[in-house]
Amino acid sequence: MELSNIQRVYLIGIGGIGMSGLARYFNHLGCMVCGYDKTQTHLTDELQAEGMHIVFEDKAELIPAEFRQPDNATLIIYTPAIPKDSVILNFLKGKGFDIKKRSQVLGILSKGSFCVAVAGTHGKTTTSSMIAHVLKSCGKDCSAFLGGIASNYNTNVLFGKSNIVVVEADEYDRSFLTLHPDIAVITSMDADHLDIYGDHSHLTDSFKQFASQLKEGGKLIYKKGLPLDTGLTYSIKEDADVMAKNIRIANGSFWFDFDNGTVTIKDIELGIAGTHNVENATAAIQAALFVGCDPEAIKAALVSFRGVKRRFEYVVKTSEHIYIDDYAHHPEELRACISSVKKLYPNKKLTTIFQPHLFTRTRDFADGFAEVLSMSDELLLLDIYPARELPIAGVDSAMLLDKMTLTNKRLLSKSDVVATVKAGQPELLLTVGAGDIDTLVEPLKQALHV
């Protein structure tokens, strides 16, 4: 497919974070962009304000006339999260359209570019956004397709004049296997998406295949301890090819030194919090050095990096209340997030509100969730957000709550959570989850007396 011929684009699942990035990309090129999603969100409101036509009912008659007959100027893109019985999806299939997955289109877009791809079961959104910000700040005017809203730019897609593109490589549905990067970063390979992969070994095999798809002369950077054979390892804890050393907290910021045996950068101040983000920054610095960025320019860029929306994002930061919101939805992500909060605020009582995401993930990692969430001082647990799944007998939030060892724990509805926070006025509040818990952020902020 020649993307240069495309004049019209229809996206099924346009409101997803990855899909909306493609929508913005084609809209930026001057294409007619339309789409469907099942729910109206702040993001779909923004897309509509940018001139895209979106419908929220899965009805074939709502598809614009321009998208009813296949031609070389029309592109249909869908996300694998869309149900197979979607009326719009099946109507367009029936018309004979060659319908592309989001990942296939990303593969085509990045094919002719110098591609920096970041993969991992967690850490990939922050790391890819960090790399894009560092490259931009260092004068390497890259484009980027990100899996979150980068706070410095308030968008999930960046347009650059250079041939460099930074891509978040998603392992869900093996999507990242459409990419052939010049530089690949792998942050983690923990068991996840077992509804797709069946078991951890198949997930690992997919990551190994992704690592093998580097272009000739390409560079692989991966976290020390992952089962990979070639490339540069990085770590913040043990000997590796690339290391962060002398990690410390001063004046509320994380500081560290970078060393890869050839380049040393001293006293780097990170613009975002969290030991896990020092680790992400270590990989990002090495990627930027491979692209040819100046070490001092990299150091300056990291101070100004403001992170990604819903990735350790400060909602309230006053002397009375600290409220942090994070997308963590896997036990290891939660461990990194909660550990960082407790390191930053060791003398404050931590109240965590968690919304489990998917019945299968809750079932597969129930013991891990229970252990990590028990690190909180108080836990308010919401019902499982089902996303694309149907309920599973015996798998619910009550089952998860029973497994937790902390005593101060409750199962609450979303409305009760807001009332509880309003009454309790917690000094240190953390909301975590990948479902629709983000709709509580503003009401919770209002509930705190700030």
In sequence order, the 6+-apart residues with CB closer than 8 A to the CB of 71 are none
Higher pLDDT, 17 or 446: 446
**Local structure of 158: helix, strand or coil:** strand
Q: Is the pLDDT of residue 344 over 80?
A: yes
Per-residue pLDDT at 195? 57
The pairing of beta strand 232-235 with beta strand 219-223: parallel
Residue 10 CA to residue 23 CA, distance in Å, equals 8
Contact status, residue 194 vs residue 366, Cβ threshold 8 Å: no
Across the range 393-421, mean pLDDT stands at 94
Residue 80 CA to residue 170 CA, distance in Å, equals 12
CA angle at residue 297 from 293 to 303, to 5 degrees?
125
In the chain, the largest separation of any two C-alpha atoms, in whole Å, equals 64
Cα 62 to the chain's mean position, in Å? Answer: 31
Residue 55 CA to residue 395 CA, distance in Å, equals 33
Q: What is the mean pLDDT of the chain?
A: 92
Per-residue pLDDT at 191? 60
Residue 354 CA to residue 379 CA, distance in Å, equals 8
Contact status, residue 393 vs residue 384, Cβ threshold 8 Å: no
- Of 3.40.50.150, 1.10.1270.20, 3.40.50.970, 3.40.1190.10, the CATH number of 112-304 is 3.40.1190.10
Domain boundaries, the chain: 3-101, 112-304, 313-447
Per-residue pLDDT at 197? 53
Backbone angles phi, psi at 118, to 5 degrees: -115, 120
Residue 232 CA to residue 205 CA, distance in Å, equals 19
In terms of residues, how long is the chain?
Answer: 450
Residue 21 CA to residue 258 CA, distance in Å, equals 32
What CATH class is the domain 3-101? alpha beta
Question: For residue 303, what is the DSSP state?
Answer: H
Higher pLDDT, 239 or 170: 239
Name residue 418's amino acid: V
Least confidently predicted of 230-239, 332-341, 370-379: 332-341
The pairing of beta strand 183-186 with beta strand 232-235: unpaired
In sequence order, the 6+-apart residues with CB closer than 8 A to the CB of 399 are 362, 366
Residue 109's nearest CA partner among 149, 142, 71, 152 is 142
Q: Is the pLDDT of residue 193 over 60?
A: no
* DSSP per-residue letters across 81-118: TS-TT-HHHHHHHHTT--EEEHHHHHHHHHHTSEEEEE
Fold topology of 313-447? Protein-Tyrosine Phosphatase; Chain A (3.90.190)
Contact status, residue 393 vs residue 422, Cβ threshold 8 Å: no
Band of the pLDDT at 141, cuts 50, 70, 90? Answer: very high
Residue 405 CA to residue 173 CA, distance in Å, equals 34
Residue 102's nearest CA partner among 84, 121, 76, 120 is 76
Tokens of 173: 């549905």
Across the range 403-424, mean pLDDT stands at 94
Q: Each residue of 263-301: pLDDT tens digit?
A: 999 999 999 988 889 999 999 999 999 999 999 999 999
* DSSP per-residue letters across 369-413: HHHHHTTSSEEEEPPPB-TT----TT-SHHHHHHH---SSEEE--
Per-residue pLDDT at 374? 97
Across the range 377-395, mean pLDDT stands at 91
Strand pairing partners for 115? 165
Contact status, residue 6 vs residue 71, Cβ threshold 8 Å: no
HSE-CB at 348 with a 13 A cutoff on CA atoms is 21
Its sign, for the CA torsion 149, 150, 153, 157, is: negative
